[in-house]
Amino acid sequence: MNDRSGAKDMTLGAALRAQGVSRRGFLKFCAATASMMAMSPAMIPRVAQALEHARRPSVIWLSFQECTGCTESLTRSYAPTVESLIFDAISLDYHHTLQAASGHAAEAARKAAMEENQGKYLLIVDGSIPLDNPGYSTIAGISNLDMLQTTAAGAAAVIAIGTCASYGGIPHASPNPTGAVSVSDIITDKPIINVPGCPPIPVVITGVLTHFLTFGSIPELDDLGRPLAFFGQSIHDRCYRRPFYDKGLFAETFDDEGAKKGWCLYKLGCKGPTTYNACATTKWNNGTSFPIESGHPCLGCSEPDFWDGGGFYKSISMPTSDISTTVVYTAAAAAAVGAAAGAASRYKKKASKAAHSKVGVDDLEK
């Protein structure tokens, strides 16, 4: 998959041409990427020029406590796409699932890439890092924590792919038995781009890379470290079912009339309003569909702690604890307290009646 021999010094443009991508195809990709990044059409030549002459950057991809879903998302497509081509065009020097080497050879390759590209390579991480016991997740006997710290030291920037690397993800969910934390909990001295999602949308990843290659910098981020270009709007704000929400037309179950008519899934627990991602516009599988369009409420998977948000099928406006039971017990206790308070009041009144001194005509003045 990765032809590293002699290809290290090839520019990106040359590498793409070598793979049979026409100039037209290349420009189409630049235009698509530019528009995805909300850049003006005037920027397209700049993107093309930058990518044309970009040196293929060295990329080291570390996989920690993850399910490999992020890699699957990126590489799983039924037809080759330019996304996967650009991915081929970078020099992916270390990746468990995709690399040819294994064992000691793989670790040697990583160290070599780090030395040769000191300060210039991109570090991509997926999966969370366990802190409770380093033994929970190791690679070649090295704990995730150690590997991250040593590898990040020489990186130009870090991209945390997926919600696990960005915010802790599934392992971080209550009760967090491994003490899982995110990349930004450990690395504080390097620029970090969070690309959350469970998994993230493929073009979001390549869009971030393209930005980095074009401008040599990381894109504008929100306060959760996510590129605003892709995470600046909520699902709710871009959802095609929004008119139904506004009109108050909701599916009550997964197969009722409303569901069949494609009504809003708020009542089925959709977290669209509180979730920021590009799913509603960019969609998945080359723009085929996204969860809501398929009839399932948004899980909120690009937000921190979405696993602990009260349940996928509990709407945002529902309380997450069992209020009914609380109310019943409270009412019982309150009835007892109220009865006691009432009894005290009746007693006081009785006492005041007993203390009544009859008012006679001579008792009207002091």
Partner 1 sequence: MSASLEKGVNALREQVDSTVAAFFSSCVHCGMCAEACLFYTETGDAERTPINKTEPLRRIWKYEYTLFGRILKLLGLAKPVDEELLTEWETLVYDSCTMCGRCSMVCPVGIDITGVIRKTREGMAAAGHAPKGLIGATQRAITIGSPMGVKLPALQAQIRHVEEDLGLKVPVDVEGADYMLLLSSMEIMNFPEFIDALTRIFDKAGVSWTISSQAFEATNSGIQIGVSDLAAELVQRIVDAAEKLKVKTVISPECGHAYFAIRWDGPNLVGKPFGFKVRHILEVLDELRRDGRLKTSGFEEQKITYHDPCQITRRGGVVDEPRNLIGMIAKNFVEMPEHGKMNWCCGAGGGVSANERADEIRLQVFQRKKSQLDEIHAEAIVSACSNCRIYLEDGLEAHNMEIPVLSLTETLAEHLED
Partner 2 sequence: MTEIEFLSWVRGPGFQIASIVLVAGIIIRIAEILLLGRAANLAEPKGSEMSNGIRTIFTRSIPDAGTLRKSSVTLTAGYIFHIGLFVTIFLFAPHILMFKDVIGFGWPSLPTQIVDALTVVSIIALLVVLVHRLTNKVLRFLNNFEDLLVWFVTIAPLVTGYIAFHRIGFTAPALIGIHILSVELLMVVFPFTKLMHAFTIFIARWYNGAISGFRGVES
Q: Which residues form the interface with partner 1 (CB under 8 A)?
A: 337, 341, 345, 348-349, 352-353, 355-366
Task: Assess contact for 131 and 270: CB atoms under 8 A.
Answer: no
Binders of partner 2 among 238-257, rule CB under 8 A?
Answer: 245-248, 250
CB of 362 to partner 1, least distance (A): 6
311 binds partner 2 (CB under 8 A): no
CB of 323 to partner 1, least distance (A): 24
Minimum CB distance to partner 2, residue 333 (Å) = 7
Kindly tell me which of 324 and 357 has the beta carbon lying closer to partner 1: 357
Binding partner 2 (rule: CB under 8 A), the pick from 32, 131, 305, 312 is 305
Nearer to partner 1, 108 or 341 (CB): 341
In terms of DSSP H, where are the helices of the chain?
12-18, 23-36, 44-53, 69-75, 82-89, 103-116, 144-153, 162-167, 169-172, 183-186, 202-215, 228-231, 235-238, 242-247, 257-260, 279-282, 323-354
Interaction with partner 2 in 21-40: which residues (CB under 8 A)? none
Rounded distance between C-alpha atoms, residue 98 and residue 88, angstroms: 11
What DSSP element (H or E) covers 289?
none
Task: Based on the shown chain and the rule CB under 8 A, indicate whether residue 320 belongs to the binding site for partner 2.
Answer: yes
Partner that binds at residue 26, options partner 2, partner 1, none, CB closer than 5 to 8 Å by kind? none
Residues 294-314: b if buried by 16+ CB within 10 A, e if exposed: eebbbbbbbbbebbebeebee
- Applying CB under 8 A, does 121 fall inside the site for partner 2? no
Answer for which of 267, 281, 284, 293 binds partner 2 (CB under 8 A) is 267
Residue 250 interacting partner from partner 2, partner 1, none (CB closer than 5 to 8 Å by kind): partner 2
Report the C-alpha gap between 110 and 151 in whole angstroms. Answer: 9
Q: Which does 1 bind (CB under 5 to 8 A by kind): partner 1, partner 2, none?
A: none
Q: Residue 360's binding partner, choosing from partner 2, partner 1, none, with beta-carbon cut-off 5 to 8 A by kind?
A: partner 1
- Here's the x/- map for partner 2, 213-242, by CB under 8 A: it reads as ---------xxx---------x-xx-----
Tell me the C-alpha to C-alpha distance, in Å, between residue 240 and each of 156, 235, 276, 355. 39, 9, 15, 75
Helices (H), 162-261: 162-167, 169-172, 183-186, 202-215, 228-231, 235-238, 242-247, 257-260
Q: How far apart are CA 274 and CA 228, in angstroms?
A: 15
Whether 194 and 149 have beta carbons less than 8 Å apart is answered as no
How far is residue 39's CA from residue 77's CA, in Å, rounded to a whole number?
26
Q: Which two tokens stand for residue 342?
A: 């009432």
Structure tokens at 273: 């309003």
Judged by CB under 8 A, the residue of 308, 358, 363, 366 near partner 2 is 308
Name which of 246 and 365 has its Cβ closer to partner 1. Answer: 365
Residues lying near partner 2 in the complex (CB under 8 A): 222-224, 234, 236-237, 245-248, 250, 266-267, 273-274, 276, 303-306, 308-310, 314-321, 323-324, 326-327, 330-331, 333-335, 337-339, 341-343, 345-346, 349
